[in-house]
Structure 1
């Protein structure tokens, strides 16, 4: 839809990027499972690894509309999206600045792979814009941020980063997974490229593995030229499932954000909880910035139990909330980042990011919050024993 900018968010989720069923006039997108298409007498030479099958092509239009960008690409995983995008803009002798707090998989990819490619990198000492600025070198090509961050929900000033980068002709990238396009559209603050683990809020049902990027036609073409060689494309059945899931993303994320705020407030008043990390709490150091950048504060939070309460015994005592990997499903889940999402980091590296062994990351679902509160209180009681 050419006029998608004028449409409401729920209408974009539901209708933009749907594949028209011209033959049977079905209400939903048909699936084109073919891996072999005609090459002569056609406008587009289609091939799954080229990211341009009918379902792939149309899904990209929906994601671009949600992120308010010209174009988008989908991948087989969030890490495929991250790694392909970074390698498209960084070459031997180039330098990248990454913020201090990052998803463990991103951090691990950088420190384990970039030296092999001759790519230089620096992590900021904090999220202050001065710390980004002092890391800039003559060969700096990219600034990479993540806000809210995984798992401590720190907030980075997107407008300040964008302004700094543009003054130095540096490309900006953001992992927008935790916020999703429902709560935050970084292009409004001048960020160039948005990256998602589409496994999370875009998929939303814990049954899809996918990644996505969004940006200008120029940037997407540059990434596509690398992507077609690396082969991180997505099967059309998964593409179809993701398009189906995106139809309800606004409804799901709004409910999850509302629930997370209630849960954060409740946990903050629980005497058995030492600290809660959630940008929607007025006591959060980045509350005012989060309020300026985000429509809602998201469905993710982290917390630490008081000393003497075993975090794993607490998790194993839960009956409703699942102790489980990943996040952003309609069901509530939690995990220990030190044992899962950030296990690839050493103890010292985790400590540098402020990730304690007792930290618990909580992905709040769509359940009734009174049931979630009761589940947590009972589990804490058992963990105390």
Structure 2
């Protein structure tokens, strides 16, 4: 069967699986060895070279999901991001970064680039014009994230890719929030796709990993940097991740549905000031999101009314977990100013529109009625405590 014609669940389940030729098991066998023969073999295998049997198989699955020629799996999302950036940037180069990006990526840029003589600029917004305005003669990379963390802004993927091609610049995207189920940026011309596989690929809040996917030419360069930085993943975690990805499409679609219903519920809630979700028709980037996403994702953010104490609200929840990270099968929420964007200064957070009252909600697969009831209960409890006080 032609790979391009396979359904997404088929790709998640069967691409990149290892055949158990000895015992004919239904799932990929796990090879835990860190030492392999080097004589009379086709491949000299070593974990730091990303070529153990389980590593190779998973990388093939990841490449298939992102419609890429090749991929590598790393020990964390930041290991993937930093390795990719340092592959294509050197002293004297310049990079344009989207203003609304993950706090860890922002922190890496502002604390590390200058050490290596790399110049950088952040855009004022996330339109193609915003990126074009920041391009310099020595610009080598344009870096985008869409949907963005935590405000769910949407960047024109095809527009940025065309801009980069026009100027001979490499384009990179953090595709974590969308996952390859909702968005495949390479189809729109993006060169390098990045993921924190800790999130939707792992999906169960028990795996830490990262992904880089691109053409074979680009991945050969990433590989040369990766073997020096040593950000490889243990084969047991690789095996667990390959297992988890088998259900990714099912999980993500359920999370998409829950996020859409939750966004509509919060829009009607008088104790909520603003809701940020690209699936809402009044979202400023709704039309654009429809053109480049297969689903609007399982993430949303909202701002509580000023009369609701966010910390007290967190403490009253019984089902939704106030917990760092995201994209697990259980619903979780965080305060970005305390977690994902804590390393940014208050001034820089203000520039991005990240308020202290902002809450980022990651929808799991629970029944939506149970989730909305949990929020209603927590709000009512906070209000009663305020009145009593």
Report the TM-score when normalising by structure 1: 0.99
Structure 2 counterpart of 1:194: 193
Structure 2 counterpart of 1:270: 269
Distance 2:149 2:330 in 1: 19
Distance 1:284 1:353 in 2: 17
Match of 1:307, SS state, is coil
Structure 1 counterpart of 2:174: 175
Distance 2:358 2:97 in 1: 23
Structure 2 counterpart of 1:322: 321
Structure 2 counterpart of 1:361: 360
> CA offsets per residue over residues 337-362 of structure 1, 9 Å max, x none?
00000000010011011100110000
Match of 2:337, SS state, is helix
* 1:188-227 matched pairs, under 5 angstroms: 188-227=187-226
Structure 2 counterpart of 1:343: 342
Structure 2 counterpart of 1:142: 141
Distance 2:186 2:271 in 1: 40
Structure 1 counterpart of 2:3: 4
Distance 1:249 1:357 in 2: 32
Distance 1:4 1:66 in 2: 10
Structure 2 counterpart of 1:20: 19
> CA offsets per residue over residues 79-121 of structure 1, 9 Å max, x none?
0000000000000000000011000000000000000000000
Structure 1 counterpart of 2:128: 129
Match of 1:339, SS state, is coil
* 1:1-385 matched pairs, under 5 angstroms: 3-384=2-383, 385=385
Distance 2:271 2:132 in 1: 40
Following TM superposition, by how much is the alpha carbon of 1:5 offset from its aligned partner in structure 2, in angstroms? Answer: 2.0
Aligned length: 384
Distance 1:320 1:223 in 2: 42
Match of 1:337, SS state, is coil
Distance 1:130 1:272 in 2: 36
Following TM superposition, by how much is the alpha carbon of 1:4 offset from its aligned partner in structure 2, in angstroms? Answer: 2.1
Following TM superposition, by how much is the alpha carbon of 1:3 offset from its aligned partner in structure 2, in angstroms? Answer: 3.7
Distance 2:126 2:232 in 1: 33
- Structure 1: give runs of 5+ residues left out of the alignment: none
Match of 1:244, SS state, is helix
Distance 2:382 2:223 in 1: 50
Following TM superposition, by how much is the alpha carbon of 1:147 offset from its aligned partner in structure 2, in angstroms? Answer: 0.1
What do you get for the CA RMSD once the two structures are aligned? 0.7
